[in-house]
Each structure stands twice: as structure tokens, then as C-alpha cells.
């Protein structure tokens, strides 16, 4: 198994199994591909996704802003010179303080990569997209974790399992409304609708990757 040396540094030689471990290399890939100037992470937790986003930031020279209701400032993270952390409710911060924060830090309020991994409940996730999507740049990428959750266990690509919980299809329902589609979150799928390409990975609680894509398609393709 081969990883980019910077990614290997943050993951360790073996990595570890977790609720998001299957998706860390994908997050790294899309963070690099976004050629981001500003990345925003909603939900920091133990810092797994944060470490990977910072690894990408160290290569592309981008800035990562992480927002969490808990104080995560003391996490041991690589490339912290690329990191800003705000302890806040992410919806409240995005609605009332994000633009001011950008002005104070001399950063244009346009997000090139938005990563969402917070409550995963329907109402909260819906508000997150309502508040944060207007800040997405022209070719932005948006990634949502926990799009395939349910009671009992979830599976990883290596055959191992973890214990999940039922969020009543919260995140995937929001995406269905956002895209105007109905999806089977237990499957891999790819789609294009409403100016977004979407790719979905069902394992390890599910991951959806959306890319703004304004190319002209025929009515049959929409």
C-alpha cells in the first residue's frame, strides 16, 4: 500500500480503523484536486479529517478553518500553521460571523472545499447547507460524511465493522432534497443535477462528494 509521504506522515504506517478511516484518502484526494485557497471543516471531533485536510493544505498552501461546538484547539495536529479553529455552533457562525472572520484575517469569503461532519440530523444538516452553500466558490467541492447510517453495525472495506447509530437518514434526506433526487444510500452511485456532480461511497457510514459543475447538459441529462 502506498500513500503520498505527507499523507503517510499524518495517517501513520498502519492507520487505524474508525468511523471515517475508509474515507481519509478520498478526502485528501479531493482536497488536493480542489486546488483550494480556503477549506472549511464543520465538525472537528478527534481531528482525523482535520489531519488529512491539513496535510493537503501543506501541499497546496491553503488555509483550513475548522468549527466545532467543543474546544479542539489542543489537538496534536501537523501543519498547524495552516489551521484556524473557532469554537462555535457552525450554523450560527456561518450565518452571523463568517464574513467578519474572513475580513479580520484578510481572506476572501469564498470556500473551495467544504467538509461537513457534525450532527448528521436532518434539520441541522439542512440549515448547514442553507447557510454555507452561498459561500462556495465557482468550482467548489462539498463533502458530507455519515450519509449511510443506521442502527447496529457499519462495514468497512477491509471487512471489519463498527457500531453506528440511526440518524433517520438525516444527511442523505437533505442531499435528496438538495439534488431533487431519490437515492439508495446503501449503494455506490454517481449523478448530475442542479449544477452539481455527486459521487457516493456507502461504506464506513457513507461519504458524499459534490462538485459544482456548470457545464451545459441536454434536458435528457439533467
Residue 219: the pLDDT is 52
Q: Do the Cβ atoms of 34 and 59 come closer than 8 Å?
A: no
29 grid coordinates: 484526494
pLDDT of residue 16: 80
Checking if the pLDDT of 211 tops 80, the result is yes
What CA–CA distance (Å, rounded) separates 36 from 52? 14
Beta strand residue intervals within the chain, DSSP E: 38-42, 63-68, 83-87, 111-116, 136-145, 152-155, 161-164, 189-193, 196-201, 207-212
Q: Strand 189-193 relative to strand 83-87: parallel, antiparallel, unpaired?
A: unpaired
Ordered by start, the domain boundaries in the chain are 5-221
Contact at 8 Å (CB) between 203 and 161? no
The pLDDT score that the predictor gives to residue 13 is: 55
Collect all residues with Cβ–Cβ distance below 8 Å to 154 and sequence separation of at least 6: 19, 148, 161, 162, 163, 164, 203, 204, 205
At 25-62, the pLDDT tens digits run 999 999 999 999 999 999 999 999 999 999 999 999 99
pLDDT at residue 178, rounded to an integer: 98
Instruction: Assess whether pLDDT exceeds 60 at residue 4.
Output: yes
**What confidence category does residue 137 fall into, taking pLDDT thresholds of 50, 70 and 90?**
very high
Q: What is the pLDDT of residues 78-98, one digit of tens each?
A: 999 999 999 999 999 999 999
Instruction: Output the pLDDT for position 15.
Output: 63
Residue 209 confidence (pLDDT)? 98
What pLDDT shows up at residue 73? 96
Mean pLDDT of the region 5-30: 85
pLDDT digits (tens, 9 = 90+) for 101-135: 999 999 999 999 999 999 999 999 999 999 999 99
Task: Give the chain's end-to-end CA distance (angstroms, integer).
Answer: 38
Provide the β-strand partners of residue 189.
Answer: 200
| CA–CA dist 197, 212 (Å, integer) | 6
144-173 residue pLDDT tens: 999 999 888 899 988 999 988 889 999 999
Are 26 and 144 within 8 A, CB to CB?
Answer: no
Rounded to 10 degrees, the C-alpha dihedral 120/48/78/209 comes to -60
Confidence of residue 216 (pLDDT cuts 50, 70, 90): low
| CA dihedral sign of residues 40, 178, 94, 104 | positive
DSSP 8-state assignment for residue 221 = G
- Domain spanning 5-221: which CATH class is it, in words? alpha beta
Amino acid at each position: 500500500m502506498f500513500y503520498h509521504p505527507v499523507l503517510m506522515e499524518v495517517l501513520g504506517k498502519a492507520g487505524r480503523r474508525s468511523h471515517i478511516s475508509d474515507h481519509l484518502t478520498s478526502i485528501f484526494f479531493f482536497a488536493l484536486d480542489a486546488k483550494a485557497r480556503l477549506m472549511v471543516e464543520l465538525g472537528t471531533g478527534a481531528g482525523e479529517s482535520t489531519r488529512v485536510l491539513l496535510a493537503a493544505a501543506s501541499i497546496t498552501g491553503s488555509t483550513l478553518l475548522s468549527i466545532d461546538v467543543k474546544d479542539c484547539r489542543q489537538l496534536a495536529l501537523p501543519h498547524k500553521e495552516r489551521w484556524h479553529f473557532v469554537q462555535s455552533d457552525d450554523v450560527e457562525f456561518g450565518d452571523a460571523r463568517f464574513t467578519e472572520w474572513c475580513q479580520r484575517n484578510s481572506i476572501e469569503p469564498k470556500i473551495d472545499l467544504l467538509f461537513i461532519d457534525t450532527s448528521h440530523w436532518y434539520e441541522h444538516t439542512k440549515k448547514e447547507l442553507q447557510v454555507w452553500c452561498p459561500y462556495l466558490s465557482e468550482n467548489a467541492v462539498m463533502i458530507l460524511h455519515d450519509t449511510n447510517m443506521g442502527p447496529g453495525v457499519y462495514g468497512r472495506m477491509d471487512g471489519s465493522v463498527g457500531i453506528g447509530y440511526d440518524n433517520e437518514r438525516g444527511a442523505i434526506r437533505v442531499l435528496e432534497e438538495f439534488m431533487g433526487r431519490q437515492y439508495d444510500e446503501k449503494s455506490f452511485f454517481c449523478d448530475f443535477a442542479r449544477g452539481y456532480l455527486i459521487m457516493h461511497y456507502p461504506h464506513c457510514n457513507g461519504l458524499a462528494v459534490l462538485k459544482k459543475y456548470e457545464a451545459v447538459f441536454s434536458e435528457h441529462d439533467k
